[in-house]
Amino acid sequence: MYYYLSTLSGCFLGYIRRSVRGLKVIRILVDADLILEALMNRNGFVGDVSELLDRVDPLIQMYITDIGWQKIYAYASRLRNTNIAEIVINWLQEKIRICSVEPAIIQQARLLPLKDFESAVELVCVTYQELDAIVTHNKELFADAPNKCWVWSVTELRLRANLESQLQATRFI
């Protein structure tokens, strides 16, 4: 139990910055429902998520759980125009890395007090993969998290990425 708590508390220390080609990279887990909302053109999320996906390289590395990926694929493959679905899936595969949900992740997620089990799985994945944050449009699903990992909206991620970009620009002057 101590290892579990100390592993989860690692998120509280702040987001870990990694360097690619001299730029700081923000590694995020994207909630599958966020991508689904955009894919299905619902609730005005399309613009925010499209911008997020376009900005993946070099400042943002996106991850999604393999279960979330299966969910997106299941819905996309049932669209009327399967050609568009295949194009979208292929495009997403180029942009997003997959986090495997191992049995240990599921067991730890079962112990979390979050009301939404899928959110609990995502929270544990962030810890296992040492990612910086979760990006979602349902931040309230993570309100009862015992650790204080970063949970951002797309707008908050965009702001952080812009600030990181400006910081990098001033370092090279």
pLDDT in tens, 23-34: 678 899 999 988
Q: Is residue 164 packed enough to be buried (19+ CB in 10 Å), middle (13-18) or exposed (0-12)? A: middle
Residue 17 scores a pLDDT above 70: no
- Per CATH, the homologous superfamily of domain 22-171 is 5'-nuclease (3.40.50.1010)
pLDDT confidence of residue 63? 94
Instruction: Give the whole-angstrom CA distance, residue 125 versus residue 6.
Output: 15
Residue 7 reports pLDDT greater than 60? no
Q: What percent of the chain has pLDDT over 90?
A: 35
pTM for this model (two decimals): 0.77
Please give the mean pLDDT across all residues of the chain: 77
Both structure tokens of 57 = 């390289």
Q: What is the spatial distance between Cα 64 and Cα 34, in angstroms, rounded to a whole number?
A: 11
**Which two structure tokens, joined as six digits, stand for 124?**
């544990």
Q: H/E element holding 29?
A: strand 23-30
